[in-house]
Structure 1
Amino acid sequence: MKIDYIAIITPLYNEEKNVINFINHLELQTNHNFHLYFINDGSTDSTLNLGGVSKSMLVNSVNREIENK
């Protein structure tokens, strides 16, 4: 059975300093068939400013707005 890609779904909250390091470590793997999906869980920093961070993987992000109660 051939696997076309591996989907990695990761929630993020104020991880601006760590998200690039996470992507860089994935790029060190021998298999680059990753699709990354980041779920921004109400971050207040620049966590999802990911434009052009990876040329070898598909990187998507979803913003989840937090409702104040």
Structure 2
Amino acid sequence: MASPPGDGDRDGSPAESRSVVCGRCGIRSAEPPPLTWTCSVEHGVRRHFCEACARENLRAIEGRLDSDWW
């Protein structure tokens, strides 16, 4: 009997395929990311930022500046 879709039919381990990467520094986190992470939609693409990167660039994030600017 075939396994249901999404039940181990992916390449790599489940932990690797279910991680979120910080759009600035590249650190990985399990999905869903911790509540201290920030999410931004830029040019139709969702980007996540870790707590450290979000804190360093809080004013730019609140000003809705694209991460390319900061």
- Structure 2-normalised TM-score? 0.24
- Structure 1-normalised TM-score? 0.24
Compare the two structures and name the one with the higher strand fraction.
1
Q: Which has the larger radius of gyration?
A: 2
